[in-house]
Homo-oligomer: A and B are copies of this chain.
């Protein structure tokens, strides 16, 4: 099974940097890490990120203006098929001390939001759920 469908060179480089990183990275940080690989301009990063996000193998954290590799790229979780280009709504818990990010999803929350939307005839396209706080390791 091929988990990574035909990434271009730039997309692979960006995904690689994201995957290796413990914490989310800003586009400009990614750029700096890829200068030795030939990257010269922000747009090279943003274009790669756009595609990776579109494919569902990277995510943007709105509250940080940063990006992470998807933690579920090759899983199918809770019996829901989950890779292949896009997955459902996902939530992030972000530690404000160590920067670690935990990606998860919760069908009860999804259902609740979907219910709200249906009642009001609102058609969701993208949902952001981000919890900022302190992880267990960083609490005193």
Contact surface of A with B, Cβ cutoff 8 Å: 62-63, 91, 93, 95-96, 102, 104, 106, 108-109, 112-113, 116-117, 120-136, 139
Residues of B within 8 A of A132 (CB): 124-128
Number of copies of this chain that the complex holds: 2
Q: Could you tell me the distance between the alpha carbons of A9 and B45 in the complex, rounded to whole angstroms?
A: 43
Query: Given the complex, which residues of B lie within 8 Å of A134, measured CB to CB?
Result: 122-123, 125
Q: What is the minimal beta-carbon distance from A27 to any residue of chain B, in angstroms?
A: 15
Residues of B within 8 A of A120 (CB): 93, 102, 135-136
The answer to whether B117 touches A108 (Cβ under 8 A) is no
Query: Which residue of chain B has the shortest Cβ distance to A138 in the bound complex?
Result: B123
Give A114's nearest chain B residue, CB to CB: B131
Contact of A128 among B63, B109, B123 (CB under 8 A): B63
21 A-B pairs with C-beta separation under 8 A: A93-B116, A95-B122, A96-B125, A102-B122, A106-B116, A108-B108, A109-B109, A109-B112, A112-B112, A113-B131, A121-B139, A122-B134, A122-B135, A123-B134, A123-B139, A124-B132, A126-B133, A127-B131, A127-B132, A128-B128, A128-B132
